[in-house]
């Protein structure tokens, strides 16, 4: 029996048993790579947590090329993985094409919306979380100038920046916000050196809090802020522990939870659009022993009040992606 | 020193280089606790063992043929065009503009227009570095490399701010009209009654690439321009003696090179992605350098080398899927092949030449 | 080992073993037998010449002696002892020093640094340099080898650079000195000086091997001469007992005419008129400083001079690929010198053919096949086109076959790359391409440099034939013999100027040699 026959046989067998509880979940990681200390790694952490807790096993794969988007998602489905978590908004187009071909397989797309019956679209209200850390930044700033270091200049990151700027202005309408993006290629997600340089430049312009929404690039931003003795704000995962006393807080985007939940629920996971916001713990600001000394009771009270208002719908945070504009920041 | 026979130089040396690269890769795979024999099997069957695998292998090979030809033409003129990536990126923009902003009654007309757009944009992107080299002496290696970054930044700006439909998160254009899709390889073979796997990205671009290879061959060895281009590439002082204008040759060579790199977008943007995304060139511009080196800058060699790299790409992907070998290692293996066939060529050639001398001496 | 048992040659009875003896040396490169069973004895304290055509195997033999190649068979004896020479270090240890045709000096080092380079003692440079300085002073004094030890090599004249090479070898205690074509770049006066130095060294008991193609030098300077042909050592003669004619015949394998046979010139109207031509190089240095001359139809104007005195620039600007100032007219029509409205193509169209000085760098594309080189420069010729787009390679091939046959190019293989032809045949390729265009004016630079004696004769006859057909020829050559034999008038260039014009019948090498060194002899001031 040749290997190919084995593979085809296995694929066929799995296809037959698709939907059965026996199927293992799969994780398709976008081109940034598995260990980016941020978005992708958060998803992987969620999968690993599921593995630890259930003793199950899953298949994961990292893309390298545009043509592999469809190929890898198909291969994953043909290998019998179910459900399949696909990371990254750039795979919206991929799932639009691939998902209809595998109706028995359930897909979960993180950071994008695909309107198909077997796709769970998970999006995060990053603007809400960013709003809260923006408030904290303005409350902690003494200079009235705060910085934002984005990764690749794409709408999603502008959504972060816009929410952040609104939070800052809500506390201090006269605050100055310096927003920069690391680059225009996917390499911008993983360029800590450049991130550090941008942060230093912002600090030299007077910024004393810098928010990094830049994947692996953020590591350099946090380092630069710690070196200069100013505050920084982490993103996606809780990065408070990286430089205790310097990382003011982290904008949590619980990609790990989203992944974990899909894996736990199995192939029967509910499809449709799932918004992970402040209300359901999808985004939040991080408060732990590493930054407890930095967040005063007043600051916490102000932010928690805003959080309650946002959840209640009485305070509106504008979503940049709804109309490609931002009331608090010009790009 | 007696040179190697031509056949040995063209076949034996690259073949041995590949074998050595694979042997070292095998050791690396062993070191991370996987079975190299199994990995090789997965690679070979995954890339060549089914029409599905062939579909991907040929798709990648098509892209690499375009960029390989682009580098090869410039090589023949003594120019090292490292800007294939940027020129292919701009070629994609040309394709997208043509397909998005004009109505086409049939895909065949759209293909011709898209080819024109891709070539025009790719050539335009090569023009400025060529001009700077010809007139100002700015080294083309530096300028073309820089133009890759500028192309990425430009495309990023245009996608995010101009071509992206409002509300779409993905920095990409809208999809092209469905009836403008190029015929896929399985459809084309279907017309001939040959069964082929559906859902592979291989498309009519393959035929365009092969035609381009033939045209490049004709250009280089059967036209005045090709003659002047090769003469200039072999010896600039002699070319000046013969009245061949360095400026004109440099410009023409780079325009053709850029146009070929741009054409790659017909395969990827029009043939596969059906819309323009960021990073559409996906590194094929750089692979083209290795392809041209390995193919000895001859169109036939380029096609064969492109096929090898297509195999490496698809085989590597299959290895990543089925063996759970991390993608970094796949890159290592690809890099080893490039290293041995491109940079360390003489390391293999000299022992081979030595062996040949021994053999001859023994007779 | 008892030499008397083996030795059978004329010098076998010498009281001391020969300085170098080669026995049965063979060396093959692939299918080419570069050296075949070569045996030679070089007696101590003599100057031994080695002559042979290009490709006869002289360089290979010397490379074996200096450790660059290893012989396939045979042995080397130094002072009667078998001495394997696997590398050049071993050659130096064996007392062999080599002065290459192309100097192997570090141009931006001083003389002293060059001499010490590779022979440093210890890790500190200063003691080595001090020691070398003392040794250098002594050597220079003993051998007429004066050079400033602190001069930077690139600022020295070629003659002085050559002295540095010789000093380098002597500093390394060379007993045997090999010189490869040492006079190619020297003025006659410098060459005379060199031969005085060599005679001095011989008097001291050093052994000198002189490789040259100039039979005149062989006759003047050597004690014995060996002739190589096609990888074999065909004869060794005492110089006093041979003649240039015999040597030439031994080299080529048939009788050779050393003297060019030509009738008197029948000059017609002026074809090329050059007035006050000036050329600056890329660094802004003026290389041609106002040159004027005329070449008439049916005559050969020879430009004599040591290489590097502006001849190359003259050919380049007339050939259309360098810019200059002044006035140049071809058949009364002014040529553009700025380079903006002219290039090699417009010159060809105007009727100027050009055999460049450096055929390998300019005249040929070495990697191109013979037929491609025949089209080279004339690739716009309508006869070579199939239509507006496509070249007619078959037509070029056919034309090439004819040219290869008419010019006796060997092998007559149009597909062979230029680099695989011998020097003489490469030159015939260029001549075949240029002469058969029947140009108004032929520019020829160093037509026989590195060309076999047999081919020299052929090339000279073709040039005379072109002249007799009423064409104008501008001949640039550093070989005085050639200029004297071919030219109908001789202009001597020195430092970018024409020092004077002479009639070959009324001048001699001595006078031309002085002009070439920038000295205008007597009151006859012919400087233009």
Closest CA to C423 of C442, C437, C439, C409: C409
A16, pLDDT greater than 80: no
pLDDT per residue as tens digits for the range A35-64: 777 788 889 999 999 999 999 899 888 887
A292, pLDDT greater than 70: yes
Closest CA to C101 of C238, C255, C212: C212
- How far separated are the first and last CA of chain B, in Å rounded? 18
Does residue C283 or residue A226 have the better pLDDT?
A226
DSSP E strands, A34-169: 59-62, 84-87, 107-110, 119-124, 145-152
B194, pLDDT greater than 50: yes
- Would strands C489-494 and C300-304 be described as parallel, antiparallel, or unpaired? parallel
* B75 and B4 both lie in a single domain: no
Assign residue C24 a region (left: φ > 0; alpha: ψ between -120 and 50; beta: otherwise): left
Q: What is the pLDDT of residue A7?
A: 46
Q: Which helix (H) or strand (E) holds C505?
A: none
Contact call for B282 and A65, based on CB within 8 A: yes
* Model confidence band, residue A3 (pLDDT cutoffs 50, 70, 90): very low
Count how many Cα atoms sit within 13 Å of the Cα of residue B149 in the half-sphere of its side chain.
7
* Model confidence band, residue C405 (pLDDT cutoffs 50, 70, 90): very high
* B82 and B192 both lie in a single domain: yes
* A60 and A139 both lie in a single domain: no
* Model confidence band, residue C525 (pLDDT cutoffs 50, 70, 90): very low
Beta-carbon neighbour count of residue A165 at 10 Å?
A: 29
Closest CA to C143 of C124, C125, C168: C168
Domain(s) labelled CATH 3.40.50.300 in chain C stretch across 1-92+207-256, 270-516
Nearest CA in chain B to A77: B321
**Bridge partner residues of C494 (DSSP):** C497
Interface contacts (A, B; CB < 8 Å): 107
Range of the domain at B171: 56-315
Our CA-based measurement puts residue B82 at a distance from the nearest CA of chain C, in whole angstroms, of 24
Closest by Cβ to B152, choosing from A68, A70, A185: A185
Taking contacts as CB-CB distances below 8 angstroms, the residues of chain B near C385 are 224
Q: The domain that contains A184 carries what CATH number?
A: 3.40.50.2300
Q: What is the pLDDT of residue C522?
A: 60
Does residue A111 or residue A7 have the better pLDDT?
A111
* B346 and B244 both lie in a single domain: no
Nearest CA in chain A to B316: A64
* A214 and A65 both lie in a single domain: no
Tell me phi and psi for residue A124, to 5 degrees.
-115, 145
* Model confidence band, residue C7 (pLDDT cutoffs 50, 70, 90): very low
Contact call for A67 and B41, based on CB within 8 A: no
Does residue A93 or residue C32 have the better pLDDT?
A93
Residue A94: both structure tokens together: 């991929």
Q: What is the pLDDT of residue B167?
A: 66
Do C279 and C324 form a contact (C-beta atoms < 8 A)?
yes
Closest CA to C48 of C1, C85, C89, C11: C11
Closest CA to B315 of B333, B339, B293: B333
CA–CA gap between residue A263 and residue A108 (Å, rounded): 10
In a domain, B51, yes or no: no
Closest by Cβ to C30, choosing from B2, B218, B245: B2
Q: What is the pLDDT of residue A64?
A: 77
Do B322 and B42 form a contact (C-beta atoms < 8 A)?
yes
* B1 and B114 both lie in a single domain: no
In a domain, B122, yes or no: yes
% residues pLDDT > 90 (chain C): 40
* B283 and B224 both lie in a single domain: yes
**Bridge partner residues of C497 (DSSP):** C494
* B269 and B133 both lie in a single domain: yes
CA–CA gap between residue B338 and residue B345 (Å, rounded): 10
Q: What is the pLDDT of residue B219?
A: 95
In a domain, B180, yes or no: yes
Q: What is the pLDDT of residue C229?
A: 87
Contact call for B237 and C390, based on CB within 8 A: no
Using CB atoms, list chains with 3+ pairs below 8 Å to chain C: B
Identify from C379, C381, C418 which residue to disrupt to test chain B contact, counting B C-beta atoms within 10 A and taking the largest count.
Answer: C379
* A10 and A101 both lie in a single domain: yes
CA–CA gap between residue B262 and residue B268 (Å, rounded): 11
* A232 and A102 both lie in a single domain: no
* Model confidence band, residue B104 (pLDDT cutoffs 50, 70, 90): confident
Query: Please, what is the average pLDDT of chain C?
Result: 86
pLDDT per residue as tens digits for the range A170-229: 999 999 999 999 987 667 888 899 999 999 999 999 999 999 998 889 999 999 999 999
Q: What is the pLDDT of residue B359?
A: 76
C472, pLDDT greater than 90: yes
* Model confidence band, residue A4 (pLDDT cutoffs 50, 70, 90): very low
* B20 and B106 both lie in a single domain: no
* A179 and A317 both lie in a single domain: yes
CA–CA gap between residue B230 and residue B76 (Å, rounded): 5
Do C96 and C176 form a contact (C-beta atoms < 8 A)?
yes
pLDDT per residue as tens digits for the range C334-357: 999 988 888 899 999 999 999 998
Contact call for A185 and B278, based on CB within 8 A: yes
Does residue C252 or residue C23 have the better pLDDT?
C23
* B129 and B275 both lie in a single domain: yes
Mean pLDDT of A74-95: 88
pLDDT per residue as tens digits for the range C160-172: 888 888 888 888 8
Beta-carbon neighbour count of residue B284 at 10 Å?
A: 30
Q: What is the pLDDT of residue C11?
A: 45
Does residue A165 or residue B101 have the better pLDDT?
A165
Domain count, chain A: 2
CA–CA gap between residue A33 and residue A63 (Å, rounded): 8
Chain B contact for A74 (CB, 8 A cutoff): yes
Contact call for B320 and A61, based on CB within 8 A: yes
Q: What is the pLDDT of residue B251?
A: 95
Query: Does domain C1-92+207-256 match CATH 3.40.50.300?
Result: yes
pLDDT per residue as tens digits for the range B245-257: 999 999 999 999 9
Q: What is the pLDDT of residue A22?
A: 55
pLDDT per residue as tens digits for the range C195-229: 998 998 999 899 999 988 788 888 988 999 999 98
Query: Please, what is the average pLDDT of chain A?
Result: 87
Identify from B54, B86, B322 which residue to disrupt to test chain A contact, counting A C-beta atoms within 10 A and taking the largest count.
Answer: B322
* A71 and A145 both lie in a single domain: no
Does residue A163 or residue C256 have the better pLDDT?
A163
Q: What is the pLDDT of residue C258?
A: 67
CATH of domain C270-516: 3.40.50.300
* Model confidence band, residue A311 (pLDDT cutoffs 50, 70, 90): very high
Mean pLDDT of C4-28: 67
Beta-carbon neighbour count of residue B171 at 10 Å?
A: 26
**Bridge partner residues of C442 (DSSP):** C353, C473
In a domain, B130, yes or no: yes
Residue B222: both structure tokens together: 């059967």
Range of the domain at A300: 126-252+296-323
* B190 and B94 both lie in a single domain: yes
Mean pLDDT of C75-98: 89
* B82 and B135 both lie in a single domain: yes
* A198 and A166 both lie in a single domain: yes
Do C319 and C341 form a contact (C-beta atoms < 8 A)?
no
Domain count, chain B: 2
Interface contacts (B, C; CB < 8 Å): 74
Do A203 and A214 form a contact (C-beta atoms < 8 A)?
no
* Model confidence band, residue C252 (pLDDT cutoffs 50, 70, 90): confident
* B1 and B92 both lie in a single domain: no
* Model confidence band, residue B169 (pLDDT cutoffs 50, 70, 90): low
Would you give the DSSP letter of residue B78?
A: T
C3, pLDDT greater than 70: no
Does residue B68 or residue C60 have the better pLDDT?
B68
B241, pLDDT greater than 90: yes
Residue B346: both structure tokens together: 């003489």
C20, pLDDT greater than 80: yes
A11, pLDDT greater than 60: no
Q: What is the pLDDT of residue B361?
A: 61
């Amino acid at each position: 029996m040749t290997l190919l026959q084995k593979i085809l046989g296995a694929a066929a067998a799995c296809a037959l048993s698709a939907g059965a509880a026996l199927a293992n979940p799969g994780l398709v990681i976008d081109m940034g790579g598995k260990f980016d200390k941020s978005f992708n790694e958060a998803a992987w952490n969620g999968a690993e947590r599921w593995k630890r807790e259930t003793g199950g096993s899953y298949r994961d794969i990292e893309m390298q090329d545009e043509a592999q988007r469809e190929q890898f998602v198909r291969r994953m489905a043909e290998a019998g993985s179910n459900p399949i978590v696909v990371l990254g908004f750039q795979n919206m187009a991929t799932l639009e094409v691939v998902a209809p071909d595998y109706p028995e397989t359930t897909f979960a797309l993180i950071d994008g919306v695909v309107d198909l019956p077997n796709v769970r679209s998970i999006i995060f209200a990053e603007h809400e979380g960013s709003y809260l850390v923006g408030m904290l930044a303005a409350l902690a700033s003494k200079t009235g100038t705060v910085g934002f270091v984005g990764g690749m200049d794409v709408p999603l990151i502008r959504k972060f920046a816009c929410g952040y700027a609104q939070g800052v202005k809500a506390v201090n309408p006269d605050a100055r916000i310096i927003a920069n993006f690391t680059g225009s290629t996917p390499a911008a997600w993983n360029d800590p050196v450049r991130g550090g340089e941008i942060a230093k430049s912002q600090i030299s312009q007077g910024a004393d809090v810098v928010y990094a929404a830049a994947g692996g690039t953020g590591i350099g931003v946090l380092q630069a802020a710690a070196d200069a003795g100013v505050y920084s704000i982490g993103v996606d995962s809780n990065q408070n522990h990286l430089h205790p006393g310097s990382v003011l807080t982290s904008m949590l985007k619980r990609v790990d939870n989203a992944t974990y939940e899909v894996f736990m629920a199995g192939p029967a996971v509910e499809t449709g659009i799932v918004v992970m916001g402040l209300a359901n713990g999808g985004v939040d600001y991080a408060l732990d022993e590493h930054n407890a000394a930095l967040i005063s009771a007043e600051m916490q009270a102000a932010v928690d009040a805003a959080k309650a208002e946002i959840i209640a719908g009485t305070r509106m945070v504008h979503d940049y992606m709804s109309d490609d504009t931002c009331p608090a920041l010009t790009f | 020193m007696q040179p190697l026979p031509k056949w040995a130089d063209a076949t034996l040396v690259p073949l041995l280089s590949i074998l050595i690269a694979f042997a070292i890769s095998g050791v690396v795979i062993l070191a991370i606790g996987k079975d190299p024999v199994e990995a090789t099997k997965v690679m070979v069957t995954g890339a060549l063992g089914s029409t599905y695998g062939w579909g991907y292998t040929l798709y990648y090979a098509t892209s690499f043929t375009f960029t390989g030809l682009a580098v090869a033409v410039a090589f023949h003129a003594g120019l090292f065009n490292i800007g294939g990536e940027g020129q292919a990126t701009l070629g994609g923009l040309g394709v997208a503009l043509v397909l998005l902003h004009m109505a086409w009654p049939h895909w065949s007309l759209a293909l011709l227009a898209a080819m024109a757009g891709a070539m025009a944009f790719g050539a335009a992107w090569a023009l400025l570095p060529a001009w700077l080299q010809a007139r100002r002496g700015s080294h083309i290696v530096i300028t073309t490399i820089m133009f890759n970054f500028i192309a990425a930044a430009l495309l990023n700006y245009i996608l995010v701010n101009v071509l992206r439909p409002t509300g779409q998160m993905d920095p990409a254009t809208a999809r092209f009209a469905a009836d403008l899709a190029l015929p896929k390889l399985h459809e084309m073979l279907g017309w001939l009654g040959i069964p082929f796997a559906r859902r592979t990205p291989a498309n009519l671009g393959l035929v365009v690439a092969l035609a381009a290879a033939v045209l490049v061959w004709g250009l280089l060895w059967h036209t005045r321009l090709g003659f002047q281009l090769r003469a200039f590439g072999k010896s600039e002082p002699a070319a000046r003696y013969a009245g061949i204008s360095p400026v004109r040759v440099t410009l023409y060579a780079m325009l053709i090179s850029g146009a070929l790199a741009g054409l790659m977008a017909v395969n990827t943007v029009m043939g596969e992605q059906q819309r323009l995304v960021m990073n559409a060139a996906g590194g094929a511009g750089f692979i083209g350098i290795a392809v041209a080196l390995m193919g000895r800058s001859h169109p036939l060699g380029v096609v064969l080398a492109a096929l090898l790299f297509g195999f490496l790409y698809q085989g590597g992907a299959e290895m990543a899927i089925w063996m759970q070998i991390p993608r970094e290692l796949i890159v290592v293996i690809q890099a080893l092949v490039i290293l041995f066939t491109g940079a360390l060529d003489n390391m293999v050639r000299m022992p081979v030449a030595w062996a040949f001398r021994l053999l001859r001496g023994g007779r | 080992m008892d030499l008397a048992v083996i030795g059978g040659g004329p010098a076998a009875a010498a009281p001391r073993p020969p300085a170098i003896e080669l026995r049965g040396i063979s060396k093959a490169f692939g299918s080419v037998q570069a050296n075949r069973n070569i045996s030679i004895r070089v007696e101590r304290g003599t100057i031994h010449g080695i002559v042979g055509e290009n490709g006869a195997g002289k360089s290979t033999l010397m490379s074996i002696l200096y450790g660059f190649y290893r012989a396939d068979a045979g042995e080397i004896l130094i002072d009667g002892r078998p001495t394997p020479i696997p590398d050049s270090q071993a050659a130096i240890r064996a007392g062999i020093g080599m002065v290459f045709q192309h100097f192997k000096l570090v141009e931006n080092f001083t003389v002293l640094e060059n001499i010490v380079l590779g022979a440093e003692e210890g890790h500190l440079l200063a003691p080595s340099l001090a020691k070398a300085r003392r040794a250098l002073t002594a050597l220079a004094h003993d051998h007429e080898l004066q050079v400033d030890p602190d001069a930077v090599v690139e600022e020295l004249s070629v003659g002085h650079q050559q002295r540095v090479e010789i000093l380098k070898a002597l500093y390394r205690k060379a007993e045997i000195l090999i010189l490869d074509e040492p006079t190619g770049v020297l003025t006659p006066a410098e060459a005379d000086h060199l031969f005085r130095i060599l005679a001095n060294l011989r008097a001291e008991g050093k052994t000198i091997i002189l490789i040259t193609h100039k039979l005149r030098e062989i006759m003047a300077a050597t004690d014995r001469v060996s002739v190589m042909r096609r990888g074999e050592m065909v004869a060794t003669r005492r110089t006093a007992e041979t003649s240039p004619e015999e040597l030439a015949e031994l080299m080529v394998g048939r009788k050779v005419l050393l003297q060019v046979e030509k009738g008197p010139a029948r000059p017609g109207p002026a074809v090329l008129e050059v007035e006050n031509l000036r050329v600056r190089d890329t660094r802004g240095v003026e290389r041609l400083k106002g040159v004027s001359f005329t070449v008439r139809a049916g005559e050969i104007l020879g430009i004599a001079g040591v290489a590097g005195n502006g001849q190359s620039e003259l050919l380049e600007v007339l050939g259309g690929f360098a810019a200059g100032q002044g006035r140049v007219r071809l058949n009364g029509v002014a040529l553009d010198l700025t380079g903006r409205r002219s290039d090699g193509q417009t010159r060809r169209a105007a009727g100027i053919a050009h055999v460049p000085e450096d055929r390998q760098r300019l005249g040929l594309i070495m990697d191109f096949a013979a037929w491609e080189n025949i089209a080279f420069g004339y690739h716009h010729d309508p006869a070579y086109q199939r239509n507006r787009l496509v070249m007619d390679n078959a037509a070029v091939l056919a034309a090439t076959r004819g040219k290869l046959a008419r010019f006796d190019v060997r092998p007559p293989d149009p597909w062979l790359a230029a680099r695989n032809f011998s020097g003489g045949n490469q030159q015939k390729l260029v001549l075949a391409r240029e002469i058969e265009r029947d140009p108004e004016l032929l520019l020829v630079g160093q037509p026989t440099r590195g060309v076999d004696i047999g081919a020299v004769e052929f090339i000279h006859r073709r040039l005379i034939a072109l002249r007799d057909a009423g064409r104008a020829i501008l001949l640039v050559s550093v070989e005085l013999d050639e200029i004297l034999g071919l030219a109908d008038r001789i202009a001597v260039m020195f430092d970018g100027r024409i020092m004077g014009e002479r009639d070959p019948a009324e001048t001699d090498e001595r006078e031309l040699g002085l002009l070439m060194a920038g000295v205008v002899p007597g009151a006859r001031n012919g400087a233009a």
